[in-house]
Amino acid sequence: MSTLAGKVAVVTGASKGIGASIAEHLAAEGASVVVNYSTSKSGADAVVKRITEKGGKAVAAQADVSKPKDITRLFAETKAAYGKLDILVNNAGIYEFSPLESVTAEHFHKQFDLNVLGLLLTTQEAVKLIGDRGGSILNISSVAGPMPVQTASVYSATKAAVDAITVALSKELGPKKIRVNSLNPGWSKLKGSTPPA
């Protein structure tokens, strides 16, 4: 029997790269997967097709998880499609490297609004749908958090924040039977992925 049979997972930013691979692996283990995308419908549809051709269950759902209204819609669509949620993978993110003299408020907010605030608000909605059954949340961080690189001060700060949020939420949500962990990949050679994840 598949280890995730009967489970429902949302993977944000799953139209390519690490997110697509995670979505496909969860489906291979029996989970029904919501393949979230922001702009690449064709990429998400391709992921769904690969999953369903192998006998898995998946649907694509558009939502820019830096926008609260989109996040609300994403989980409403998840509930409509599968009725519940067991797993959230916070994979959606953006990176832009810039030397100090070129850092702007726009550069800062573009990354923090998606990588940090978006992750928090997505988790907030997911917890509501997970409910008393308990579940699992996986935050995709980066080695750039604990090991920042030059010209990546803002990006590295977002990923350090993700690591801190993960620890804090693991303590807060643990009593609710919701596990919270992070994964800190480095440069990925997955097709369609960008460094660092």
Q: Is 151 left (phi over 0), alpha (psi -120 to 50) or beta?
A: left
183 Cβ contact list (under 8 Å, min separation 6): 138, 139, 140, 141
CA torsion, points 67, 10, 186, 45, in degrees to nearest 10? -90
Answer left, alpha or beta for residue 13, where phi above 0 means left and psi between -120 and 50 means alpha: left
**Radius of gyration of the chain, Cα coordinates, nearest whole angstrom:** 16
On whether the CB atoms of residues 79 and 55 are closer than 8 A, the answer is no
Catalytic residue among 37, 82, 95, 155: 155
Cα angle for residues 64, 192, 10 (degrees, 5° grid): 40
Q: Is 155 a catalytic residue?
A: yes
Residues belonging to the active site: 155
